[in-house]
Structure 1
Amino acid sequence: MKRHTISLFVTLAAFWLLNSGHYSALILLLAAASIILVLIISHQMDVVDHESQPLYLTRNIFGYYLWLIKEIIQANIKVVKHIWLGKESISPTLKKIKINQKTDMGKVIYANSITLTPGTVTIDLVDDEIIVHALLSMDIESLQAGEMDRRVCLLEH
């Protein structure tokens, strides 16, 4: 619990400093008081835990972001190509796919990653399955191959 409180304090302080632009002693003192008040309220509400401050994600998240950005760029190019080729080149598909994430956070990251990738959208997430709509059937096959699933699972460990 102490690690999560420290993480929340650092996150709030960094967010405040980045958005404020004012660094006089009075303003910094008021910022510290505000952050401490938020921490007290958060503890009273019992919301500071591993879900609100997922520290385990910070180890691998930047590598995942780089990989996801590459995938988004490639998917954008593929979608534009198929738009130029016309409607004969698309094969809209709706499919239920089994996922391997164990935590709710991992499931949400996976579902959102699919939706962020152009040409695919997550329709529903129930237990260990998601329903995905894809512009191209090859995108469903790519998801079933499991590379994105595997990378999100690595985030959870």
Structure 2
Amino acid sequence: MLRFGLVLAIVMVIYWFSLSGYFDHPLLLVLGAISVLLVLGLCQRMKILDEETAPYLNLPKTLTYFVWLFKEIVKANVHVMRAVLSPGLEVSPKMVKIKSSPATEIGKTMFANSITLTPGTVSVEMSEKEILVHALLTEMSDPEGFEEMADRSAWAIGELAENRQAKGS
């Protein structure tokens, strides 16, 4: 609990400094410190400082995931652009239910948001074990195609113990 509070305090101080730009006004520095302590106190009292609410502790994994996701977004952009601009117009929308493998709410949300960020797919509905996805193209609606994204999003927030290389990175 203390570890999460300490990391949260450091993140909030860095965030406050980056947004405020006030480094030489003692009153503002004291007020910023009081604000951080107040938020930490409220979080402690509400008992919301835990691993799920501190995903920034897995920052290297999360950044690795975002680099991979960016590459997938670029590939999907090119694929959708080719389909839409082709004379035959290959667009064939389809709804498909896919299994959501992340266990925590933040993992499921990250997976669903990653699907929506990828051009040609939109997360329509999320239940406990499944996500309903609208796919613009038939080849984008293959449920097995989402398994790597589910595994990588779970790995990024520390849900999977195995290494990314074990997944055939």
Scaled by the length of structure 1, the TM-score of the pair is 0.90
Alignment-derived partner of residue 10 in structure 2 = 10
CA 1:87 to 1:56, structure 2 compared with 1: closer, same or farther past 3 Å? farther
Q: Displacement, 1:80? A: 1.7
Number of aligned residue pairs: give it: 156
- State the alpha-carbon separation in 2 of the partners of residues 119 and 96 from structure 1: 15
Which letter does structure 2 place at the counterpart of 1:17? F
| Structure 2 unmatched runs, 5+ | 161-169
Residues 138-153 of structure 1 correspond to what in structure 2 (within 5 A)?
A: 138-141=139-142, 143-145=143-145, 146-153=147-154
Higher deviation after alignment, 127-136 or 147-156 = 147-156
Alignment-derived partner of residue 21 in structure 1 = 21
Alignment-derived partner of residue 133 in structure 1 = 134
Q: Displacement, 1:56? A: 5.2
Q: RCO higher in 1 or 2 (8 Å CA, sep ≥ 6)? A: 1
- State the alpha-carbon separation in 1 of the partners of residues 116 and 87 from structure 2: 22
Q: 1:132 aligns to what SS in structure 2?
A: strand
Which letter does structure 2 place at the counterpart of 1:23? F
- State the alpha-carbon separation in 2 of the partners of residues 115 and 103 from structure 1: 19
Residues 71-82 of structure 1 correspond to what in structure 2 (within 5 A)?
A: 71-82=72-83
**How well do the aligned residues superpose, as a CA RMSD in angstroms?**
1.7
- State the alpha-carbon separation in 2 of the partners of residues 85 and 32 from structure 1: 57
- State the alpha-carbon separation in 2 of the partners of residues 151 and 87 from structure 1: 34
Q: Displacement, 1:40? A: 1.3
Alignment-derived partner of residue 154 in structure 1 = 155
Query: Identity, % of aligned pairs?
Result: 37
Higher deviation after alignment, 19-28 or 130-139 = 19-28
Scaled by the length of structure 2, the TM-score of the pair is 0.84
Contact 1:123 1:133 (8 Å CA) reproduced: yes
- State the alpha-carbon separation in 2 of the partners of residues 54 and 5 from structure 1: 13
CA 1:55 to 1:21, structure 2 compared with 1: closer, same or farther past 3 Å? closer
Residues 42-53 of structure 1 correspond to what in structure 2 (within 5 A)?
A: 42-53=43-54
Q: 1:60 aligns to what SS in structure 2?
A: helix
